[in-house]
Amino acid sequence: MNSTTTAFPRSVHEKYLGIVQLARTIDKARMVANGTIGEYLYDSPMDQALFAEFGIDAKRLSVVVSDAVKNPSNAPAIEAYVKPLVQKKTPIELERFNQDTLGRRPTGESLTSFQTLRTKIAPDRTDVTTWPDLLDLDESRSVPKRTAGI
C-alpha cells in the first residue's frame, strides 16, 4: 500500500457544516482509505478535540469515509453521519468550538514541535502562534501577518 502523501488535506480554517477542522479530518480519513496519508495523522489531537466535542466516533467516521472512497455513491453517508451530531450544538457552542480550535496554541511537548517546525518552514514568522496557522504555512497556504499580541 502506498503511504505517500500526494495532496494536502483542507485547511483547519475551512468549514464543513459550519465547523472548522471537520473538512480536514474527513480528508485525512479519505487519505487513510486511499493509502496516501503519508506523514499526516488521522485521529490527531486536533481531530480528537473535534470528536470529543461532537460525539463523533473516529473508527465509525473512518469506516463511513472508506465506504465512500470505495463506492462514491456512498459519499452522502459522510454528511448523514456527521450532520445530526453537529446539529445537537447551539450556534453559540459551534462558534466557541470554532474560535477555540482556530486559536489553539501549542503547550508542553507540543510547543517544542511547533517551534521546530516554524523555524524550519518560516523562521521569520514569529507572529504565527497557532497550530492552524502553522499548518497552513507548512502546506503553502497564505497566512496573514499578525500584530504582536494577537
What are the tens digits of pLDDT across the range 42-67?
Answer: 999 999 999 999 999 999 999 999 99
pTM of the model: 0.90
Q: What are phi and psi of 28, to 5 degrees?
A: -65, -35
| 102: CB partners within 8 A, 6+ apart | 12, 13, 20, 130, 132
Dihedral of alpha carbons 124, 125, 131, 134, sign? negative
Give the Cα separation of 23 and 9 in Å (integer): 8
Helical segments of the chain, H only: 22-34, 45-54, 58-70, 76-86, 91-102, 109-121, 131-138
How many Cβ atoms sit within 10 Å of the Cβ of residue 143? 19
For residue 146, what pLDDT is reported? Answer: 82
Whether 1 has a pLDDT exceeding 70, the answer reads no
Domain ranges of the chain: 1-102, 105-150
